[in-house]
Each structure stands twice: as structure tokens, then as C-alpha cells.
Amino acid sequence: MFELIAFDADDTLWENEAFYVEGRETYHQILEPYEPPADLDERLDMVENRNIPYFGYGVSSFVYSLIENAIEVTGGRISAADIKKIMEIARAMIDRKIDLLDHAEPALRRLSAKYPLTMITKGDLLHQRLKLEKSGLQAYFKSVEVVADKTPEVYAEILERHHVRPGNFLMIGNSMRSDILPVLELGGHAAYVPSRLQWAHEHRELPAELAANFVEMEHLGQVADWIEGIRL
């Protein structure tokens, strides 16, 4: 029996990566008059990865990287007006309506009747809590953890606070890097629900030695039936 079940938020419960893709498309349009290099996105990826240790994950980090990359690829020629347009990308992303993914609300409703649920998500604290509030899913969670990164150490600290052993913990998410591998390394259980879009930064392969406590599902609607069918 699981003593605690955790859900990732972005691209597990609601759409998220699509907004970053749209933000990049708008970014391309803003930079088009400056004749940016053909590898604009690859350069942006490098800037984002470089900035994560300083600014973490989320919309604020994203827009910092957009601005820094724009300055670099234009040789400093980008105007203040266009930098303001880039900042508007972030505001538009934060103001977006929350689009729940299929099966998200029914899965939470069913599981929360039998298990304590927590949300463990990366990103901006203010933005993540705002998204949860707008989603209408807040009542299903006993607690919410907004963390700078998802590492085995971070998960271990969360489990210690909840007085839960890793073997009685289940993490559900769409990222192998953040939601699955760190939990499996601790000896916990992980259910992988791949998302329609995946940020390359989050991609990892599953080592064979960690596969025993791993399951992959097509959608969240399968989670409760799978839990009811196993014995820990």
C-alpha cells in the first residue's frame, strides 16, 4: 500500500510545454528583422541550460534566457522596444488559461479518496501556485512542494518530512530526468506518463537496473486501476 502518492504538475496534469513552444515562435518573429542565425534555437537551448543553476526553472528563467540570447545573437543591436516585447512573452504565458490534460481531474478525485496526495513541481513559486489555483485541482492535494530541482536528495528530504519510506512512495510524472529516475534511485516507485511535447532537457533513458519499480502508462486514467492491481 502506498503511503504517499505525488504528482508532477506541468505536462502531467495540465498543458505547459506548448506555451514555451509558442513563446519561442513569437521570439523568432521579434528577432526576424535582425536576421538571426539559423541555429537560434540551439543557441537558446545552451543559454537556458547555462542559466538553470542561477535562475532555476520556469517562466522567469525562460525570459531571462530569451533576452540574453537576443542580445548575443544581435550583437547588442536589439532595441529596448523589442526587449519589452520579449518580456511580454512571459506575461502572456503567466496569464494563459490552464488546460487540464485528459483524465487528470478524475484520476485525482479517485486517488485522493484513498491516498494522501502531494504535488511536487519545479518552477516559479508564485506562478506554480497560481496555476494550481486556476486549475481547480487544489482540494485534492494535502501538500504542495515547489522545488528548485528534483534530485534524489530533494525527494529524500520531502519523504523524511512526511515520514514515508521510499518503498511506500509513488511519483507520477512526464519527465524521466525529474520525476522518474531520482525516485527510482531512492528505491521508490515511479509511473511515467509521457507528454505530447517534451523539453529536450528532461529526456533521459531508463537504466535496466532501475526498471523493477517502474511502469509506463498512456494516460492518467490508467493509474488508479494499476495501483489497485498491485501488492507492495
pLDDT one-digit tens code per residue, 3-22: 999 999 999 999 998 999 99
The full DSSP string for 162-204 is: HT--GGGEEEEES-IIIIIHHHHHHT-EEEE---SS--GGG--
Give the residue among 114, 106, 105, 113 at the shortest CA–CA distance from 136.
105
Same domain, residue pair 125 and 223: yes
Q: Could you tell me the residue range of the domain that residue 157 belongs to? A: 4-15+98-228
pLDDT one-digit tens code per residue, 129-168: 999 999 999 999 999 999 989 999 999 999 999 999 999 9
Same domain, residue pair 102 and 185: yes
Same domain, residue pair 45 and 58: yes
pLDDT one-digit tens code per residue, 165-175: 999 999 999 99
| Total domain count, the chain | 2
Q: What is the pLDDT of residue 228?
A: 85
Same domain, residue pair 191 and 213: yes
pLDDT one-digit tens code per residue, 170-221: 999 999 999 999 999 999 999 999 877 565 555 667 777 877 899 999 999 9
Q: What is the CATH number of the domain that holds 67?
A: 1.10.150.240
* Structure-block grid coordinates of residue 191: 509511473
pTM listed for this prediction = 0.87
Same domain, residue pair 114 and 221: yes
Same domain, residue pair 147 and 68: no
- Cα separation, 131 vs 55, in Å, equals 20
pLDDT one-digit tens code per residue, 51-76: 998 998 889 999 999 999 999 999 99
